Amino acid sequence: MSMRRVLSIVAILIALATAAVSAASPQFDSTRLYSEAEFTAAIKPYTDSIARSANDAEAHYWLGVAYLYAYQLSKLGLAPYAGRFGGRAVASLERSVQLKPDPAAMLALEHAYILVGAVGRWAGLVDRLLAATPPIPLK
């Protein structure tokens, strides 16, 4: 088998494995309350996926959403273990947006900035979103 053919097969396998890792990131269930141990178990698929591939935008997004959800609950007194998760939410969501500027990730990041009081960073993100938005034609 030629070296070119081997490299082609390896490239295909890597692409398939990357797609499988990304597709393996389940959505975080934000409809329930978690104990600290349950929360740790719930985010394990995302942390494992990131450990395998630091550039998995989807895993960073869902990890950020999970941290943001827990942080919101901590503000309400429902998740005392999550009081410091605001910074983790921001970091994960920023990484997700950096890797893949998806509108859902940008909106979650915007929400995280507001919750942690990072108004300057929030304004910068809003400016970025507005600059990327095509103008609405006037009739």
**Helices assigned H by DSSP within 24-134:** 36-52, 57-75, 85-99, 103-116, 119-132
Q: List per-residue pLDDT tens for the chain, 139 residues long.
A: 554 554 444 344 344 433 433 455 788 888 889 999 999 999 999 999 999 999 999 999 999 999 999 999 999 999 999 999 999 999 999 999 999 988 888 889 988 988 998 877 776 777 777 776 777 787 7
> In this structure, what token pair is assigned to residue 40?
């740790």
pLDDT at 24: 56
Tens-place pLDDT, residues 114-136: 899 887 777 677 777 777 677 77
For 130, residues 6+ apart whose C-beta sits below 8 A from its C-beta are: none
For 19, residues 6+ apart whose C-beta sits below 8 A from its C-beta are: none
Compute the distance between CA of residue 59 and CA of residue 47 in angstroms, rounded to an integer.
7
Q: What domains appear along the chain, each with residue ranges and CATH number?
A: 3-132 (1.25.40.10)
